[in-house]
Each structure stands twice: as structure tokens, then as C-alpha cells.
């Protein structure tokens, strides 16, 4: 009953048309159509009510009704509500008032929409290109429907646009896209005075594979395979997000068995990521003992994944409608996990007693709380700065609503807090896994998905090891996907990384970068 | 410090070699049993998301091991290979010593690898990272990863080669002293995987540089990647 006032206020103030209001498997969802002139007003109303932006998709609806449209999706955790706004835009010169001045976390989303659709957000503070590299010709917008997915795009001469940093003794240090270590590609431009970083800018989207375009007009089961391959280290999380979007669009409720198995998969994924990261963050300070121990524990977890689900990255398990197979060797894995928990505890105790580690990590790469809130940081990085937000608790999905767990939060927002956050979250994950293993009910693994109603939208989300992975889909005719939009945790967190680096020294950048442990593939798609 | 020493002393040797790899087998390459295969049926071929099945044979370079074909087959005629290895003849026990011997002889005791991500999903990268963990410990064979292509004998390439990384891959290849071995790791690098035909991707490594060895898998396990490296050294 709580949700009424917000919806009523929205209706009164903006004259919106409620397209759909009802429940989806993950909670309450409402879809409203808002005229362009009321777009900003409704967004600020929602923002004042404590909502945050989950994702924002644009769609080329010209083949359907001759318009472009934008769909920002807000989550209102206080009301347990997800509100999707739909605003139609003029097809000849698509433009709308930019959301960024009101909701700063939309800034990369809007730049992406501008690149991929040629839709101009008017009043955007930074209208530079984001996704498309300088060698893309102008007026090529890959996600428009008149752009064929297989087109070969010509290269044109172009220069990367970096904000100039000038002054005596300022050096520019270009790094990447191919890095020295075994990490993904991205180009970083440091402006440094001596060892102190004055400014850091990044050119990302090197691994842009065009996944969203490739998914269009494919069967929804085919797209599920693509969702798993958006990112290796969040395969399960992406697959569950996508599956939930399809299920809520089809109005299907999955079985309890499937929900619990999904929880186990998601938590195993969180564990191997967090344990790996706890070790790997020590690679930023050259603490070999912790690096090796972390790597051993991670390898053990990966092998448990293999035995549980037949895949080290848990691929091929989650399908729209449930899960494909049951889990194997559960009792053995359960006892091995208990052993691993105490191993991890021993390793972290040793790590935290090292003065060298504290010296390097404390007060390094601070992300202030306000910046994290404004820019919409998610996941452990945001919680390490004091943002008390976790989709597993705030808008429960799968079986999380029935499980008991805490959401740990730190305060300082430095590298050390991000390390502690992961250690704390591992403890909670072990607890969740214990409960899920005990309660895992027997029963049907999957339900069949009926034909999808065409041109409907839906959103699915999970809290992955890095934060919220939000998948937004719009169905097309004959069970195909008309538009697929992935906003990964890395998409939310990449914009905040360059904020944390100035004021630190260049050798601290790898450490800060590792403490966020962002994925390039998730962002670039 | 004491705690670290105690921890070190307590940890037994975890390093494995090919004779005692503790890897459990994962999904194998689909194998069509022609005798059980229903006639005039092409359901597996039509349902394969990457077009890896043509004429009832599976192309390991295109397969992403999703096993969709096994689920749709009306005759239950599709099994899987034991472990999706490219080199069937080599027995695991011999691999370690063979690799060490070859590297000693051919590469003057050490093989240096430069790794290039040309648009992968991160899965293959994580597995390549696992090669250097204490369990697989690639360094035990005299193989190591180097920071610069100038020092590299071999390029380990993952990913579909996106439009934005084509030039980076080309430049890295050209910066390597010849002869450069190229090993394509993962389904994307081998044949383009799911995103082969996209506007932003270049359809696999061999469309851009000459590939010596393909390591199929999505992603291949660390043991498979080590096998791939051995196979490539064999070709020198």
C-alpha cells in the first residue's frame, strides 16, 4: 500500500500515463509514459523520493511507431518499487533535456546513447564521445535500426579528446591499451607532476564487441548465451539478470529449487571473485605471501565450481525459466567450503597484521561518500565508502528474500576499506551458502517460457561481486529480442575511478585500480 | 612476520604437474554418433548458435561448448569428447617433461610469452592468469609472461579482435622479434565465437595474424592452455 502515494504524486505532478503497474517476480514494477516536457520534472521528483537510477536505455522505435524513445529505470528501495519511464522523442531530430544535471549517474549512459543512437541530451556537461573511438566516422549510430549489424565501418582520422592539463613540469604518461600484465585493454592518460597524479583520463571501450546489436532479432534463448558471455567473471550474474528480465516479461514464476540453485551459483561467483581480489589487491603492493595464498584459494573455488556446475565460470547453468541441471557433490562441497572459510580467515589475519600493507592501503585512493552517491557507484566499492545499498536486500530476487544475511558497510572509502569490505562480504557469502545448501528444496528445475508478448519491456538485475548488473530488454515479434541493454556494475563504477587517483602517486594507481577490480568487457560490451 | 613463516610452513606443496592435474573434466566437444543420428534431421545444425555444426561434424574452433545441440537432438545422438583437447595423442604424464625438454632445446631454456587481449570477455584472461598461480605454476617449465612484445617468443591472443583493438594487435605482432608463435586462446579468438559477425568485431585472430595453434574452449581450462603452449613449441 505504501507505493500509492509516490505513484499518485507522479501522476498528479506530471500527468503521466500509467502503462502497467503490478508485481513482477522480483517485486513491484510500474511503467509510466511521460511527455517530453515533464521528463526532467518526473526525474527530479523520483530523485527526491530517494530513488536511484538503475539503467537507461534508448530504443529506435521507428519501425514500430515512428519514434525514438528513452527509458530511464529508477529503483525506489524505500517502497520496494521499480519505475520505468518511457518518453517518446521526435524521429527527425531526436533530442531531450539531459538527465545528468539532475541525476549525475546518468552521465555515461547519456553519452553512450548519444553515440549509439545520435540522440542528443541537451545540456549535458560533457558531450564528448564515449563508446565510439575517434576513428569512427561521424553520423554512424550502430544501434539505430537502419544500421545493419554486419556493416563494416570505415576508419577516419581522429584524435582522442583529452582535457588539457598544462603547466611547468607537468608530464603526460600514456598507458595502454595493451598493458604489461595479464589484464584487459584500456588507455589511460596520466598527467603527473613528479610522482603525483594531477589528473587521470581514460579511453575505454576497446573490447566493444557490439553485443547489444548482435542480440537484436535473435531468439531469447540464444541471447541468454550472449548474456553469459558479456563478462567471464560475472557469467552467472549476467545470466541470472537476463533470465529474470525474460521471466518477468513473460510473467513466469520460477520454482523454489531454481531460485535456491541460482543463489548458490551467484554466491559461489561472488566468493571466487572476492577471494581472488583479496589476494590480487596485494599484487598492487608486492605482498607475495597473500598473492599466492589468495590464488590457491581462488583455484580451489574454481574447481568447486567445476564439480558443482560443470564449468569453472558457472556457464551453461542458468536459462530463462530456471536452471538447466541440478548441482552435484553438494555435501562434499559444503564441507570443503567450511575448510576454505577458515583458511581464508587465517590468510586475512596474516595480511591485516602486516604494517606494510596498512601503510600502502590506508588513505590511498579515497572515494568520498558524496561522490559515490552522486555518481551512482555500486557494489563493494560504494559500500566501502558508506553507501548502504545492496540489491540482494533492498529489492530481493531469487531466494535472497528468504535468507538471512547482513550487508557490511565501511566508512573511509580508501583502498583498505575496499579490502575489508570484500573480507566482510566473503563471511556473509559463506553464511548465505550454508543456508542455501541446507534449505535447497527438491523439485522441478525449470518451467517453460510461454511466447513473449511483442514490444514489451522488462528489467532484471543482480548484485554481482562488483555491484548491480542490470539487464533491460524489449521483446520483438516471434520471441525475439528487439533491444537489449546491459548496464554492468563496471559501467557504474568506471567513472568514479579517475576521481580517486589524483593526489596519489603514479605507483599507487595499479593498487587503486585493483581495489575497484572493474571489468572492461562488462563495460565495453 | 612470524605468522607468515608459520603460514608458509603449514602450506604443503600445492603445485601440480601434468601427471597430477587436479582438474575435473568439464564440458567436452559435442560428438555426433552417426549411427544413432536421425536421418534428414538438421535440428542440431539449425540450433547451433555459432554455426559450428555442418554436415554432422562439429568444428571445434567455432564451438562454444554450450551443448545446445545435445539438448535439442531428438535421437539423443550427441555425446561429448572426454576432455576438449586439441592434441589427443599426448599422454598427460609426458607433457611436463616434454615441455621442459622442448623449451630447453628450442627456446634456449626459456619461453617468453606476451599476452594480448583482443576483445575477450575476461574468462580466457582469468584462466591465463591462473597459469601463473601456485597450482599450475607455468614458470616451472621455464615459461613466463613478459611485459613487452620486444622480449616475447610467443603471443597468446584472446578475444574476437574487435575493431578498436585490430591496430593494437597488429602493432604488438610487429613489435615481436621473429619468428613469433601465435596461440589463439578461446572460442572467440579461434573462430569468432558468438560475436563473429558484429560490426565491431573482426571474427577471430587468424583473419589478422597467422595463427600457429588454436586452443578451443569457452574458456579453455588452464591445463588446456598449457597443452596449447606445448603444441606451439613443438612447431618451432
Which residue of chain B has the CA closest to A317? Answer: B66
| Beta strand residue intervals within A294-390, DSSP E | 318-319, 322-323
My answer on whether B225 and B188 are in the same domain is: yes
Judge whether A212 and A59 are in contact, CB under 8 Å: no
Which residues in chain A touch residue B163, judged by CB atoms under 8 angstroms apart?
153, 208
Are A232 and B123 an interchain contact pair (Cβ–Cβ within 8 Å)? yes
> Is the residue at B210 inside a domain?
yes
Please report the domains of chain A, with CATH numbers, ordered by start residue.
3-122 (3.30.460.80), 211-515+519-523 (1.10.645.10)
- Which residue(s) pair with A122 in the sheet? A97
CA-based angle A413:A417:A461, to the nearest 5?
75
Query: How far A409 CA sits from the closest chain B CA (Å)?
Result: 28
CA distances from A170 to A165, A166, A201 (A): 8, 6, 15
Query: How far B4 CA sits from the closest chain A CA (Å)?
Result: 6
Which of B80, B111, B140 is the last residue in one of the domains? Answer: B80
Least confident of A21-30, A326-335, A455-464, B223-232: A21-30
- More confident: A219 or B178: A219
Asked if the model's pLDDT at residue A238 lies above 90, the reply is yes
**A&B contacts, CB < 8 Å:** 176
Q: Which three cell numbers stand for residue A367?
A: 572515494
My answer on whether B98 and B202 are in the same domain is: yes
Asked if the model's pLDDT at residue B88 lies above 80, the reply is no
Are A521 and B122 an interchain contact pair (Cβ–Cβ within 8 Å)? yes
Burial A49-60 (b: 16+ CB within 10 A, else e): bebbbbbbbbbb
Are B168 and A185 an interchain contact pair (Cβ–Cβ within 8 Å)? yes
Amino acid B35: pLDDT:
79
Asked if the model's pLDDT at residue A2 lies above 70, the reply is no
Are B135 and A206 an interchain contact pair (Cβ–Cβ within 8 Å)? no
Amino acid B86: pLDDT:
40
Which residues in chain B touch residue A293, judged by CB atoms under 8 angstroms apart?
7, 11
Judge whether A36 and A407 are in contact, CB under 8 Å: no
Q: How far apart are CA A365 and CA A502, in angstroms?
A: 8
> Is the residue at B6 inside a domain?
no
My answer on whether B133 and B39 are in the same domain is: no
Tens digit of each residue's pLDDT (9 = 90 or more) over B146-164: 888 888 888 999 988 988 8
> Is the residue at B207 inside a domain?
yes
Amino acid B104: pLDDT:
67
Q: How far apart are CA B173 and CA B210, in angstroms?
A: 10
Amino acid A39: pLDDT:
84
Region B212-230: what's the mean pLDDT? 84
> Is the residue at B87 inside a domain?
no
> Is the residue at B5 inside a domain?
no
Judge whether A487 and A113 are in contact, CB under 8 Å: no
Q: Find all residues with CB under 8 Å of A18, minimum gap 6, and list them.
A: A7, A11, A30, A31, A32, A33
Which residues in chain B touch residue A232, judged by CB atoms under 8 angstroms apart?
120-126, 219
Tens digit of each residue's pLDDT (9 = 90 or more) over A121-161: 988 888 888 888 888 888 889 898 888 888 888 888 888 88
Amino acid A32: pLDDT:
83
Amino acid A424: pLDDT:
92
Which residues in chain A touch residue B127, judged by CB atoms under 8 angstroms apart?
312
pLDDT band at B100 (very low <50, low <70, confident <90, very high): low
> Is the residue at B105 inside a domain?
yes
Amino acid A422: pLDDT:
92
The enclosing domain of B56 has a CATH number of: 3.30.70.20
Q: Which three cell numbers stand for residue A107?
A: 552521465
Q: Which three cell numbers stand for residue A128?
A: 564528448
Asked if the model's pLDDT at residue A163 lies above 90, the reply is no
Q: Which of residues 85-104 of B touch A (CB under 8 A)?
A: none
Asked if the model's pLDDT at residue A94 lies above 80, the reply is yes
Which residue of chain B has the CA closest to A230? Answer: B121
Which residue of chain B has the CA closest to A290? Answer: B4
Which residues in chain A touch residue B172, judged by CB atoms under 8 angstroms apart?
178
Amino acid A27: pLDDT:
57
Question: Residue holding cell 595502454?
Answer: A176
> Is the residue at B12 inside a domain?
no
Query: How far B120 CA sits from the closest chain A CA (Å)?
Result: 7
Asked if the model's pLDDT at residue A6 lies above 70, the reply is yes
Judge whether A235 and A228 are in contact, CB under 8 Å: yes
Asked if the model's pLDDT at residue A333 lies above 70, the reply is yes
Instruction: Considering only the beta carbons, identify the residue of A206, A296, A310 that sits closest to B165.
Output: A206
My answer on whether B106 and B173 are in the same domain is: yes
Which residues in chain B touch residue A214, judged by CB atoms under 8 angstroms apart?
194-195, 197-198
Are B194 and A311 an interchain contact pair (Cβ–Cβ within 8 Å)? no
Q: Which three cell numbers stand for residue B160?
A: 574476437
Asked if the model's pLDDT at residue A524 lies above 60, the reply is yes
The enclosing domain of B160 has a CATH number of: 3.40.50.12280
Query: How far B187 CA sits from the closest chain A CA (Å)?
Result: 11
My answer on whether B119 and B193 are in the same domain is: yes
Q: How far is CA A268 from the centre of its chain?
A: 18
Asked if the model's pLDDT at residue A314 lies above 60, the reply is yes
Q: Round the average pLDDT of chain B to a whole number and report it.
A: 79
My answer on whether B101 and B201 are in the same domain is: yes
Amino acid B94: pLDDT:
59
Q: What domain count does chain B have?
A: 2
Judge whether A220 and A227 are in contact, CB under 8 Å: no
Judge whether B162 and A208 are in contact, CB under 8 Å: yes
Asked if the model's pLDDT at residue A1 lies above 50, the reply is no
Amino acid A24: pLDDT:
53
Amino acid B95: pLDDT:
60
Query: How far A215 CA sits from the closest chain B CA (Å)?
Result: 9
- More confident: A308 or A22: A308
Query: How far B103 CA sits from the closest chain A CA (Å)?
Result: 22
Regarding beta strands B154-158 and B181-185, do their DSSP bridges make them parallel or antiparallel, or are they unpaired?
parallel
Which residues in chain A touch residue B174, judged by CB atoms under 8 angstroms apart?
none
Percent of chain B whose predicted confidence (pLDDT) is above 90: 3
Amino acid A269: pLDDT:
92
Asked if the model's pLDDT at residue A320 lies above 50, the reply is yes
> Is the residue at B3 inside a domain?
no
Residue B48 in contact with partner chain A when CB distance is under 8 A: no
Instruction: Considering only the beta carbons, identify the residue of B115, B159, B199 that sits closest to A207.
Output: B159
Amino acid B87: pLDDT:
41
Which residues in chain A touch residue B189, judged by CB atoms under 8 angstroms apart?
none
My answer on whether B69 and B108 are in the same domain is: no
My answer on whether B168 and B197 are in the same domain is: yes
Domain carrying residue B39: 30-80
Least confident of A474-483, B20-29, B40-49: B20-29
My answer on whether B172 and B98 are in the same domain is: yes
My answer on whether B230 and B118 are in the same domain is: yes
Percent of chain B whose predicted confidence (pLDDT) is above 70: 82
Which of B20, B54, B80 is the last residue in one of the domains? Answer: B80
Percent of chain A whose predicted confidence (pLDDT) is above 90: 16
Q: Which of residues 158-217 of B touch A (CB under 8 A)?
A: 159-160, 162-165, 168, 172, 193-195, 197-201
Instruction: Considering only the beta carbons, identify the residue of A226, A306, A521 that sits closest to B194.
Output: A226
Regarding beta strands A81-89 and A468-475, do their DSSP bridges make them parallel or antiparallel, or are they unpaired?
unpaired
Asked if the model's pLDDT at residue B89 lies above 50, the reply is no
Tell me the ipTM for this assembly. 0.85
Tens digit of each residue's pLDDT (9 = 90 or more) over A424-451: 999 999 999 999 988 888 888 888 888 8
pLDDT band at A420 (very low <50, low <70, confident <90, very high): very high
| B6 φ/ψ sector (left φ>0, alpha ψ -120 to 50, else beta) | alpha
**Do you know the residue count of chain A?**
525
Q: Find all residues with CB under 8 Å of B42, minimum gap 6, and list them.
A: none
Query: How far A342 CA sits from the closest chain B CA (Å)?
Result: 13
Instruction: Considering only the beta carbons, identify the residue of B3, B135, B136 that sits closest to A349.
Output: B3
Residue B5 in contact with partner chain A when CB distance is under 8 A: no
Q: Supply the pTM of this predicted model.
A: 0.90
Amino acid A518: pLDDT:
84
My answer on whether B108 and B150 are in the same domain is: yes
Asked if the model's pLDDT at residue B200 lies above 90, the reply is no
Region A215-244: what's the mean pLDDT? 90
Q: Which three cell numbers stand for residue A512?
A: 587503486
Amino acid B53: pLDDT:
84
My answer on whether B47 and B99 are in the same domain is: no
Instruction: Considering only the beta carbons, identify the residue of A149, A306, A354 that sits closest to B197.
Output: A149
Q: How far apart are CA A44 and CA A99, in angstroms?
A: 9
Are A210 and B201 an interchain contact pair (Cβ–Cβ within 8 Å)? yes
Is the torsion defined by CA of A220, A221, A226, A232 positive or negative?
Answer: positive
Region A248-265: what's the mean pLDDT? 90
Amino acid at each position: 500500500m505504501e507505493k500509492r502515494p509516490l505513484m499518485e504524486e507522479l501522476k498528479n505532478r506530471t500527468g503521466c500515463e500509467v502503462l502497467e503497474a503490478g508485481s513482477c517476480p522480483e517485486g513491484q514494477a510500474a511503467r509510466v509514459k511521460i511527455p517530453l516536457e515533464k521528463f526532467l520534472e518526473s526525474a527530479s521528483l523520483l530523485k527526491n523520493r530517494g530513488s536511484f537510477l538503475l539503467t537507461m536505455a534508448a530504443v529506435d522505435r521507428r519501425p514500430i511507431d515512428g519514434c525514438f524513445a528513452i527509458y530511464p529505470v529508477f529503483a525506489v528501495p524505500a517502497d520496494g518499487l521499480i519505475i520505468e519511464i518511457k518518453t517518446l522523442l521526435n524521429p527527425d531530430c531526436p533530442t531531450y533535456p539531459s538527465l545528468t544535471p539532475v541525476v549525475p549517474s546518468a552521465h555515461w549512459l547519456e553519452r553512450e546513447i548519444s553515440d549509439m543512437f545520435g540522440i542528443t541530451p541537451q545540456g549535458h556537461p560533457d558531450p564528448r564521445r564515449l563508446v565510439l573511438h575517434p576513428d569512427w566516422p561521424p553520423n554512424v549510430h550502430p544501434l539505430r535500426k537502419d544500421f545493419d549489424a554486419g556493416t563494416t565501418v570505415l576508419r577516419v582520422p581522429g584524435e582522442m579528446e583529452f582535457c588539457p592539463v598544462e603547466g611547468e613540469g607537468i608530464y603526460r604518461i600514456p598507458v595502454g591499451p595493451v598493458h604489461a600484465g595479464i589484464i584487459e585493454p584500456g588507455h589511460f592518460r596520466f598527467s603527473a607532476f613528479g610522482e603525483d597524479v594531477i589528473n587521470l583520463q581514460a579511453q575505454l571501450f576497446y573490447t566493444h564487441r557490439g553485443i547489444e546489436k548482435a542480440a537484436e532479432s535473435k531468439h531469447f534463448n540464444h541471447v541468454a548465451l550472449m548474456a553469459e558471455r558479456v563478462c567471464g567473471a560475472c557469467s552467472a550474474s549476467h545470466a541470472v539478470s537476463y533470465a529474470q528480465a525474460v521471466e518477468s516479461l513473460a510473467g513466469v514464476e520460477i520454482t523454489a529449487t531454481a531460485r535456491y540453485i541460482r543463489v548458490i551459483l551467484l554466491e559461489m561467483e561472488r566468493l571466487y571473485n572476492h577471494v581472488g581480489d583479496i589476494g590480487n589487491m596485494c599484487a598492487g603492493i608486492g605482498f607475495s605471501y597473500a598473492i599466492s595464498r589468495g590464488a590457491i584459494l581462488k583455484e580451489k573455488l574454481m574447481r568447486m565450481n567445476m564439480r558443482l556446475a560443470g564449468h569453472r565460470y558457472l556457464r551453461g547453468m542458468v536459462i530463462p525459466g530456471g536452471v538447466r541441471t541440478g548441482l552435484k557433490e553438494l555435501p562434499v562441497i559444503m564441507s570443503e567450503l567450511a575448510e576454505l572459510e577458515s583458511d581464508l580467515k587465517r590468510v586475512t589475519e596474516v595480511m591485516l597484521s602486516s604494517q606494510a600493507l596498512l601503510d600502502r592501503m590506508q588513505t590511498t585512493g579515497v572515494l568520498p561518500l558524496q561522490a559515490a552517491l552522486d555518481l551512482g557507484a555500486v557494489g563493494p566499492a560504494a559500500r566501502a565508502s558508506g553507501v548502504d545499498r545492496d540489491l540482494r536486500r533492498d529489492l530481493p530476487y531469487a531466494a535472497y528474500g528468504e535468507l538471512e544475511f547482513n550487508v557490511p558497510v565501511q566508512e573511509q572509502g580508501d583502498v583498505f576499506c575496499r579490502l575489508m569490505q570484500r573480507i566482510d562480504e566473503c563471511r556473509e557469502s559463506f553464511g548465505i551458502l550454508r543456508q542455501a545448501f541446507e534449505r535447497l528444496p527438491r523439485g522441478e528445475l525449470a518451467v517453460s517460457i510461454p511466447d513473449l508478448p511483442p514490444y514489451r519491456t522488462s528489467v532484471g538485475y543482480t548484485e554481482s561481486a562488483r555491484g548491480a548488473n542490470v539487464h533491460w530488454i524489449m521483446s520483438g515479434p516471434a520471441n525475439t529480442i528487439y533491444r537489449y541493454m546491459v548496464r554492468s556494475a563496471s559501467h557504474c563504477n568506471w567513472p568514479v575511478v579517475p576521481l580517486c587517483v589524483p593526489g596519489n602517486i603514479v605507483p599507487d594507481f595499479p593498487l587503486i585500480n585493483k581495489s575497484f577490480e572493474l571489468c572492461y568487457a562488462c563495460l565495453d560490451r | 612476520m612470524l605468522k607468515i613463516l608459520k603460514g608458509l610452513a603449514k602450506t604443503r606443496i600445492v603445485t601440480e604437474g601434468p601427471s597430477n592435474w587436479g582438474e575435473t573434466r568439464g564440458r567436452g566437444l559435442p560428438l555426433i554418433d552417426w549411427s544413432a543420428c536421425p536421418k534428414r534431421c538438421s535440428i542440431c545444425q539449425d540450433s547451433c548458435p555459432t554455426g559450428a555444426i555442418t554436415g554432422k561434424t562439429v568444428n571445434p574452433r567455432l564451438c562454444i561448448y554450450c551443448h545446445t545441440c545435445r539438448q535439442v537432438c531428438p535421437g539423443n545422438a550427441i555425446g561429448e569428447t572426454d576432455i576438449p583437447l586439441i592434441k589427443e595423442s599426448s599422454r598427460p604424464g609426458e607433457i611436463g617433461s616434454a615441455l621442459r625438454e622442448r623449451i630447453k632445446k628450442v627456446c634456449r631454456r626459456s619461453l617468453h610469452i606476451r599476452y594480448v587481449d583482443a576483445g575477450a570477455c575476461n574468462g580466457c584472461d582469468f584462466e591465463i592468469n591462473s597459469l601463473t598461480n601456485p597450482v599450475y605454476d607455468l614458470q616451472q617449465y621455464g615459461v613466463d609472461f613478459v611485459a613487452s612484445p620486444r622480449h616475447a617468443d610467443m603471443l597468446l591472443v584472446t578475444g574476437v579482435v574487435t575493431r578498436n583493438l585490430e591496430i593494437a594487435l597488429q602493432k604488438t605482432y610487429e613489435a615481436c622479434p621473429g619468428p613469433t608463435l601465435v596461440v589463439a586462446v578461446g572460442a572467440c579468438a579461434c573462430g569468432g565465437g558468438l560475436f563473429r559477425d558484429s560490426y565491431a568485431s573482426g571474427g577471430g585472430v587468424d583473419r589478422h595474424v597467422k595463427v600457429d595453434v588454436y586452443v578451443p574452449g569457452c574458456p579453455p581450462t588452464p591445463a588446456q592452455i598449457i597443452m596449447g603452449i606445448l603444441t606451439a613449441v613443438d612447431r618451432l
